[in-house]
Amino acid sequence: MTTERLPSWRPGATRDAILGYLDGIGDVPVEDRVAYLDNDGTMWCERPHYVQYDFFVDVLRRLAPDDPTLAQRPELAAVLDNDAAKIGELGLAKVAGALAALCDGQSPTEFAAVVDDFTERYRHPTLGVPLASLVYRPMLELVEELRAHEFTVGIVTGGGTEFVRRISPGLYGVPPERVVGTMIGYELQRDDDGRPVLRRTMASMGTPNEGAAKVAHIQSQTGRAPIVAAGNSSGDKEMLEWAQASPHGGLAILVDHDDADREFAYQSKAATFQDDEPVTAVAQRLGWTTVSMARDWEQVFPPAS
Amino acid sequence: MTTERLPSWRPGATRDAILGYLDGIGDVPVEDRVAYLDNDGTMWCERPHYVQYDFFVDVLRRLAPDDPTLAQRPELAAVLDNDAAKIGELGLAKVAGALAALCDGQSPTEFAAVVDDFTERYRHPTLGVPLASLVYRPMLELVEELRAHEFTVGIVTGGGTEFVRRISPGLYGVPPERVVGTMIGYELQRDDDGRPVLRRTMASMGTPNEGAAKVAHIQSQTGRAPIVAAGNSSGDKEMLEWAQASPHGGLAILVDHDDADREFAYQSKAATFQDDEPVTAVAQRLGWTTVSMARDWEQVFPPAS
């Protein structure tokens, strides 16, 4: 029986480079076969908004009618007014922080229930599809191919870890402990019966998981160094360089969003990268494997069900 | 074919309580079957010193001849002089910090090599056995039994995460990302060729992983809440209470070191617990399952090989 490998990928140099690398992996000990894949824009669509941004906006819209004070805070007012200029002026990081703080005081179980409620209702604002249909089919096939080569696969996100942990087992088969993102803080409190309960708090949030922090966090949170990494943004640069520099010889994959017809066409830039150089130029200069969505992917999304 | 379960455990109420709990686990979804086991004093012997303390002392003794300035620092001088009174006066936390800082600047790969070199040479100071022979045989059987019931098993340590991550896959079959301890900081630097390399730094060390911090760290680092937890010290109290309070109904196990003949007899107390109440009394008061090494374990250590 022959099963076609990477069936949604078009034949060509990119597919050959990836399969060629994986087929040469035999000399690398299994415990060192580690892959970390960025989530937003690499595993699933991040336009027009990050899904996690839509999630927190949803949380806000459901809370706002019962709490008029929320609309008095500039960051939240800008979101409620859908005022892109104002959000840009305040800075997305500050706005995202104010949104995430809406979940302060929730236990992990409560937060998980809020995430589940959102993901069940979610439809993409322009594509009209549910969450699972935003996952790039070729990337899921890459995950399968990595596993067929005995890789341990993890997911990286610049957003909050706990949100992605809630969706990663179902969408990617990646367990919570292999999701590395920006860490929320927790405080141990006691309920009325004196039993311990964890409560979310933005007061002890971790460093935003972008740029060099992605590398430090993958190592410190999971004790693993990737030899395969995939990203799509200049905020993934250090992680991709790190994987590439592995003593085993690494593979750095950049997903290039160059397909306005089937997805979105843009260059993704992170605040951790100060230069004007487009990330695709960085990829070429450093010898990464660039995946052109337009050229290399026969299908982008899963078939409509 | 009948395989005896927990063969190193003596028949009795403790063994029955553990097996009875596990046999009733059928209604708990597999993804919620999570066990976290403390390492020092729960999975392996922690007396007369923590193994990780012996490790850092070994690092110091190998560096000291080439660097006379080390002996001029009070924390390190006390260790080199084996001056227990002085170490007590300075505080073990401060001494441990000074010792751990000796590895500042090492990459994860370099640190792993230093750990491997130590663990190969290590012999327990009074028992004369190698590291693998310090692991409690009944606890390894408990890990097996947990896995037979489809539990995901993690290890918790008050010490440095990266040391335990290096030994946990081999000794316990627990991968690095499921070891939760005190996190070392990392800084991303560049080598002479401009390639990224992570370097250990105590400058951004995490909160010591004891008491309430153990609970917050298990959640934030791994996104998992245990329904079974095992410990031996008052620094495990919050973690044991947290597991016990699980909505699924949890199992909290306290290992009581009451066997001076075969191991060591002591009550283990952590700085996070301020009261004078012995941890065994806490266990009785809160309804934990107390494992008496003297009464419940037929064998303590693996057979001599």
Q: How many residues in total does chain A contain?
A: 305
Q: How many helices (H) and strands (E) does chain B have?
A: 12, 9
The pair of three-digit structure tokens given for residue B146, joined into one six-digit string: 């947990």
CB pairs under 8 A between A and B: 102
Give CA–CA dist A53/A59, Å, rounded: 10
Instruction: Tell whether the model's pLDDT for residue A14 goes beyond 80.
Output: yes
Could you give the ipTM of this predicted complex? 0.95
Output the average pLDDT for chain B: 95
Surface of B (172-191) touching A: CB under 8 A? 175-179, 183-188
Phi, psi of B153 (to 5 degrees): -110, 130
Reported as a pLDDT band with limits 50, 70 and 90, residue B2 is low
Q: Write out pLDDT tens, residues B231-276.
A: 999 999 999 999 999 999 999 999 999 999 999 999 888 888 888 8
Q: Do B216 and A108 touch (CB under 8 A)?
A: no
| Residue showing tokens 């007369």 | B48
Q: Write out pLDDT tens, residues A226-284.
A: 999 999 999 999 999 999 999 999 999 999 999 999 999 998 888 888 888 999 999 99
Reported as a pLDDT band with limits 50, 70 and 90, residue A107 is very high
Give CA–CA dist A274/A271, Å, rounded: 7
- Minimal Cβ distance to B188: which of A161, A185, A238: A238
Q: Write out pLDDT tens, residues A163-176.
A: 999 999 999 999 99
* Alpha carbon distances (Å) from A223 to A197, B109, B183, B188: 27, 11, 10, 15
Q: How many residues in total does chain B contain?
A: 305
- Mutation target among B150, B174, B180, B219 for the A interface, most CBs of A within 10 A: B219
Q: Write out pLDDT tens, residues B184-229.
A: 999 999 999 999 999 999 887 888 999 999 999 999 999 999 999 9
| Residue showing tokens 């803080």 | A185
Give CA–CA dist B228/B230, Å, rounded: 7
Taking chain A, what is the end-to-end CA distance rounded to the nearest angstrom?
Answer: 27
The distance from CA A268 to its chain's CA centroid, rounded to whole angstroms, is: 13
Instruction: Tell whether the model's pLDDT for residue A1 goes beyond 90.
Output: no
Phi, psi of A198 (to 5 degrees): -85, 140
pLDDT of residue B276: 87
Instruction: Tell whether the model's pLDDT for residue A108 goes beyond 60.
Output: yes
Reported as a pLDDT band with limits 50, 70 and 90, residue A305 is low
Q: Do B247 and A188 touch (CB under 8 A)?
A: no
In the three-class reduction of DSSP (H, G, I as helix; E, B as strand; rest coil), residue A137 is classed as: helix
Output the average pLDDT for chain A: 95
Nearest CA in chain B to A195: B245
Instruction: Tell whether the model's pLDDT for residue B92 goes beyond 90.
Output: no
Instruction: Tell whether the model's pLDDT for residue A2 goes beyond 80.
Output: no
- CB-count exposure of residue A112 (10 Å: 0-12, 13-18, 19+): middle
Q: What is the mean pLDDT of residues A82-99?
A: 92
Q: What is the mean pLDDT of residues A115-142?
A: 97
In the three-class reduction of DSSP (H, G, I as helix; E, B as strand; rest coil), residue B276 is classed as: coil
Give CA–CA dist B246/A10, Å, rounded: 49
Nearest CA in chain A to B107: A219
State how beta strands B196-201 and B185-190 pair. antiparallel
Q: Using a CB–CB cutoff of 8 Å, tell me whether A220 touches chain B.
A: yes
DSSP state of A234: G
Using alpha carbons, select from B24, B301, B288, B256 the residue that is nearest to residue B141.
B301
CB contact set of A209 (below 8 Å; sequence gap of 6+): A156, A157, A158, A159, A161, A180, A181, A182, A183, A217
Q: Do A188 and B216 touch (CB under 8 A)?
A: yes
Give CA–CA dist A241/A244, Å, rounded: 5
Q: What is the CA radius of gyration of chain B?
A: 20
The full set of domains in chain A, from first to last, is 13-296 (3.40.50.1000)
Q: Which residues of A touch B223 (CB under 8 A)?
A: 108, 161-162, 165, 176-177, 179
Reported as a pLDDT band with limits 50, 70 and 90, residue B93 is confident
Q: Do A184 and B224 touch (CB under 8 A)?
A: no
Instruction: Tell whether the model's pLDDT for residue B132 goes beyond 60.
Output: yes
Secondary structure (DSSP) of B131-144: GGGGB-HHHHHHHH
Reported as a pLDDT band with limits 50, 70 and 90, residue A179 is very high
* Alpha carbon distances (Å) from A267 to A9, A206, A300, B114: 21, 27, 18, 43
Give CA–CA dist A60/A47, Å, rounded: 20
Percent of chain B with pLDDT over 90: 90
Q: Do B186 and A225 touch (CB under 8 A)?
A: no
In the three-class reduction of DSSP (H, G, I as helix; E, B as strand; rest coil), residue B181 is classed as: strand
Helix H or strand E encompassing A127? none
Q: Write out pLDDT tens, residues B228-237.
A: 999 999 999 9
* Alpha carbon distances (Å) from B46 to A22, A67, B38, B267, B268: 43, 53, 11, 12, 10
Q: Which residues of A touch B216 (CB under 8 A)?
A: 185-188, 198
The pair of three-digit structure tokens given for residue B208, joined into one six-digit string: 């010591």
Instruction: Tell whether the model's pLDDT for residue A30 goes beyond 80.
Output: yes
Quick count: other Cβ atoms within 10 Å of Cβ B66?
7
Q: Write out pLDDT tens, residues B35-54.
A: 999 999 999 999 999 999 99
Q: Using a CB–CB cutoff of 8 Å, tell me whether A168 touches chain B.
A: no
pLDDT of residue A304: 76
Q: Which residues of A touch B185 (CB under 8 A)?
A: 216, 220
- Minimal Cβ distance to B186: which of A184, A220, A245: A220
Give pTM, 2 decimals: 0.96
Using alpha carbons, select from B202, B170, B196, B155 the residue that is nearest to residue B183.
B202
Q: Write out pLDDT tens, residues A195-213.
A: 999 999 988 788 899 999 9
pLDDT of residue A268: 83
CB contact set of A303 (below 8 Å; sequence gap of 6+): none
Q: Which residues of B touch A215 (CB under 8 A)?
A: 186, 188, 196, 198
Surface of B (72-111) touching A: CB under 8 A? 108-109
